[in-house]
């Protein structure tokens, strides 16, 4: 595979990584023990209000937390794929399908630089 193209894709991956990490930082925190893992922060209840209003507020926050989970999951999965792709670039193993070991088409990598499988194996 063309070195220049790999450099280009590497830059793209690093940019995407930065964007995703910023996005995740807005509502999740990095799990220090597990590399690449993020936890959605559960909203804090301040407990300042009493009765119905407080309960209603708590319910809203739980709803918000539940809505954030799938977003966190998809961002995290993408981030892991990006890290994996960057690792492969370091080890000169980039651009190969993990399943059939054939080269992934450059066209596919340009659109989807973190791709782990070729089009055939992805199905």
Residues that bind Zn ion (CB under 5 A): 97, 99-100, 118, 121
Taking the complex as a whole, the smallest distance from the CB of residue 114 to Zn ion amounts, in Å, to 15
**Nearest-angstrom CA–CA distance, 17 and 63:** 28
30 secondary structure, DSSP code: E
Taking the complex as a whole, the smallest distance from the CB of residue 40 to Zn ion amounts, in Å, to 33
Q: Which is nearer to Zn ion, 39 or 81 (CB)?
A: 81
Looking at the chain, list the stretches that DSSP marks H as alpha helix, in order from N- to C-terminal side. 3-25, 52-90, 106-111, 119-122
Taking the complex as a whole, the smallest distance from the CB of residue 113 to Zn ion amounts, in Å, to 16
Q: Which is nearer to Zn ion, 38 or 94 (CB)?
A: 94
Residue 111 — φ and ψ, nearest 5°? -85, -30
Q: Which is nearer to Zn ion, 92 or 101 (CB)?
A: 101
Note whether 61 and 113 are within 8 A (CB).
no
Rg (CA), the chain: 19
Q: Which is nearer to Zn ion, 17 or 96 (CB)?
A: 96
Taking the complex as a whole, the smallest distance from the CB of residue 109 to Zn ion amounts, in Å, to 13
């Amino acid at each position: 595979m063309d070195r220049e193209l790999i450099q280009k894709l590497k830059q793209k991956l690093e940019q995407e990584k930065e964007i995703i990490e910023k996005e995740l930082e807005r509502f999740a925190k990095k799990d220090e023990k597990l590399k690449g893992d993020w936890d959605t922060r559960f909203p804090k209840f301040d407990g300042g209000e009493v009765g119905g209003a407080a309960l209603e507020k708590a319910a809203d926050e739980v709803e918000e937390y539940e809505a954030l989970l799938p977003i966190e999951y998809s961002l995290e999965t993408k981030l892991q794929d990006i890290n994996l792709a960057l690792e492969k670039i370091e080890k000169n193993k980039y651009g190969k399908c993990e399943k059939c070991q054939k080269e992934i088409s450059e066209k596919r990598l340009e659109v989807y630089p973190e791709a782990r499988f070729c089009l055939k194996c992805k199905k």
